[in-house]
Structure 1
């Protein structure tokens, strides 16, 4: 994930976005222009098909330059069908005829709303847990969920009970056994019994992470431990969360790193930094990025125009205007060896742009159409070889399933189902949208009376 550390904790590619209490996973993404008229698409198809007919074909396992619209025209012929007895089965849990929003807050609990104003909690069968209504509900953490009811903020258990019989002006979810709470304009921390263990005294706070939390007084940041003792005095412009034993800190517009004792281990010299990942942190000077190790030694020279974090000993790196004035990305190892060669990753049409991190040997990347590669750069799912277009950056390995869509014959309507890594259909595309797979459950949407309604299905394999 390309995440530039900054004072607001937002970065180039964005932080995980909370929508209705959900924390969305983030990859190196930027959205392209999503508006294209279908009249233009049809014209482009004719032009591009003529161009493709006139040009020699290229090996799609190397650099595919087929356009988005040409791929649409070719997909059906290349699709790999799945025998019916190998496709996933499904059954309704909550039909999409009532709720406008639905999301998991725990393994078997869901927040739902009909109007985005009041949320209630139901189980995976759609049965109400209690009759309480909330203006917002966050995910369960350490056994508690943070909810808001108008101006009051409090914590509930899985029965929906206000566990501490207390309300706050604001609060953060529990982490490391403590939760930040606000009262009378100041922040403090409570434990899992609801007792104030660090008194109200701070103007701004962050959650505890690795047993330490950044706190602010009078726009100056310091660091405390879980007893409230000051580890770093109030002298920094910003302190980020600890990651792998180190925290990025800012002073007078420059960034460095401190360890858990508050000692400066990397001097304030960088214009931007990212958190440590697998022992290395991305740093930037004069608009060029590289990586340092935990001693502050430059391990990868500052020569790239952008970088992602290390994941499974791979980090994405970008060079601008490399060939024909185009940006190209490669993956390097921690010794700056190129392990997956430079490629002009790009997205067309309404596709997402992504040069993603590796997880279990796979990474999502944009080869005009969203695709998946392995850690050697081989195509595992090449978007142009399937009738499906990927709509998610999450692969469910248990079911070999990714949310994806197909177009109808005139390419004006999308229908969503699930596709496997081989490009094969795993779930018939009959839904108007699929937002996520959560274990055995899939959140789906249907258009009812011109409005989007959300439901839940359970998927399973034929025995």
Structure 2
């Protein structure tokens, strides 16, 4: 029997959790398990379904009900739910016969402030709606961070979220503070103190209350580097600084963000790489190309995907697929913390920077490593 509790001291204690080792969810013969970063099984495939590990707990489905296990597959909360989401901020959303609700790490039910429905926690907050049908924010103690104010709040990314009021878009932080007033017809993801926004057919770079109009611009990509913002002028792409001045003219058919001092660019149907001065340092020779990772490798395509270094030397042969299927939750491609998820002959696995297969194992499906 699940007990109903108000949010309070017991819940605060349940929020104290140790950092967990990284595990990757994999599927083999229709069953889900988890591997360590050495490629060994931490949990052998045994569940019909599972969520990614989060806060040292894993939501698992035994074919009948969802429950939660630890990293050794011992049940922390017995299977009893119709559905379950991963833990966040010391709580998880679970679905019982009566609907969705919150539980703490002991499986105790937590009464929700929301009069409509409960939402997953993200960046320390969750949405809630009251009778007005507007949306606001609560923290994991059910304290109101932001009263219901907006018609829409999109999921938070790195502490910021898009919001809409009266069909106009702006940005708030996870304390409910309005970072960019909702004055725009469309808006991007706020990052590095900057965001793109659009009014009618006019594009802007916006930082707080300051906006820079960009006449003649037809598109701006989400911003990763304020010194090199991907901007489209007509049907060509180049890079602008946050002050709206061109740093690399719009001469490319396509381009991706700078990472590790280089950016992939496309000309005449082929991809290569330029440096921050606009000099072509790796000739356009590839069908596709992604940004360089901190490991100094980039995924490039020549019928299949392989990996090159900054001297264009092929380090890992062209033999893989790297585009994740719709079953994957995490779509990041290329090397992440020394490993890249790749597909070969219909199976998924992880390779290191020398092309060695992690654990010498391939799987029917494999998610990225998570804490």
Greater shift, 300-309 or 131-140, is seen at 131-140
Could you tell me how far 1:119 is from its partner in structure 2?
Answer: 3.3
- 1:298 Cα shift? 0.9
Counterparts of 1:293 and 1:417, CA distance in 2: 39
Structure 1 residue 267 displacement after superposition: 3.7
Query: In 1, Cα distance between the equivalents of 2:284 and 2:73?
Result: 49
1:200 aligns with 2:148: yes
**1:417 Cα offset (Å):** 5.5
Secondary structure in 1 matching 2:170: strand
- Find 1:90's aligned residue among 40, 49, 58: 40
Tell me the distance in 1 between the aligned counterparts of 2:213 and 2:255: 20
CA distance in 1, matches of 2:292, 2:93: 30
Offset at 1:114? Answer: 4.5
Asked if 1:333 corresponds to 2:275, the answer is yes
Gaps of 5+ in 1: 1-23, 25-87, 347-353, 407-413, 441-463
C-alpha separation between the residues in 2 aligned to 1:416 and 1:382? 16
What's the CA shift string for 1:47-73, capped at 9, x where partnerless?
xxxxxxxxxxxxxxxxxxxxxxxxxxx
Residue in 2 aligned with 1:173? 121
- Cα deviation digits, residues 154-196 of structure 1 (max 9, x gap): 4444334444544552525231x33322344220111232112
Conserved? CA contact 2:347–2:365, under 8 Å:
no
Of structures 1 and 2, the one scoring higher in RCO (CA 8 A, sep 6+) is 1
CA offsets, 1:24-82, max 9 Å, x none? 9xxxxxxxxxxxxxxxxxxxxxxxxxxxxxxxxxxxxxxxxxxxxxxxxxxxxxxxxxx
Q: SS in structure 1 opposite 2:261? A: coil
Q: What's the TM-score, normalizing by structure 1?
A: 0.60
- Give the TM-score normalised by the residue count of structure 2: 0.73
Residue 124 of structure 1 is matched in structure 2 by 71
Q: Which of 284, 297, 304 is the matching residue for 1:362?
A: 297
Distance 1:159 1:110 in 2: 13
**Partner residue of 1:318?**
266
TM superposition shift of 1:153: 4.3
After superposition, the Cα gap between the structure-2 partners of 1:95 and 1:241, relative to the gap in structure 1 and judged at 3 Å, is: closer
Q: Residues 290 and 415 of structure 1: is their aligned pair in 2 closer, same or farther, counting only changes over 3 Å?
A: closer
Equivalent pairs counted in the alignment come to: 324
2:186 pairs, out of 238, 241, 250, with 238
SS in 1 for 2:40: strand
**Aligned residues of 1:383 and 1:389 also touching (Cα < 8 A):** no
**Quick check: 1:438 aligned with 2:369?**
yes
- Please say if residues 308 and 357 of structure 1, whose CA atoms lie closer than 8 Å, have aligned partners that are also in contact: no
What is the rounded CA distance, in whole Å, between the counterparts of 2:140 and 2:42 in structure 1?
37
Alpha-carbon separation, structure 1, partners of 2:128 and 2:41: 41
Name the counterpart of 1:380.
315
**C-alpha separation in 2, matches of 1:224 and 1:404:** 39
1:196-237 alpha-carbon deviations (Å, 9 max, x no partner): 231113211134557654321221223445665555444211
Cα deviation 1:384-413 (Å, max 9, x = unaligned): 5xxx87787454666x6755545xxxxxxx
Find the partner of 1:263 among 210, 217, 232.
210
Q: Deviations over 1:96-131 (max 9, x none)?
A: 4xx33223231532222245x853222222222213
Q: Is the 8 A contact 2:350 2:358 kept in 1?
A: yes
The structure carrying a bigger helix percent of its residues is 1
Residue 252 (structure 1) aligns with:
200
- Contact in 2 for aligned 1:364/1:372 (Cα 8 Å): yes
Q: Is the 8 A contact 1:111 1:120 kept in 2?
A: yes
Cα distance in structure 1, aligned partners of 2:342 and 2:286: 25
What is aligned with 1:289?
237
Q: Distance in 2 between matches of 1:259 and 1:389?
A: 38
Q: Give the CA deviation at 1:284.
A: 1.0
Residue in 2 aligned with 1:85?
A: none
Aligned-residue CA RMSD (Å): 3.4
Residue 150 of structure 1 and its aligned partner are, at CA, apart by: 6.7
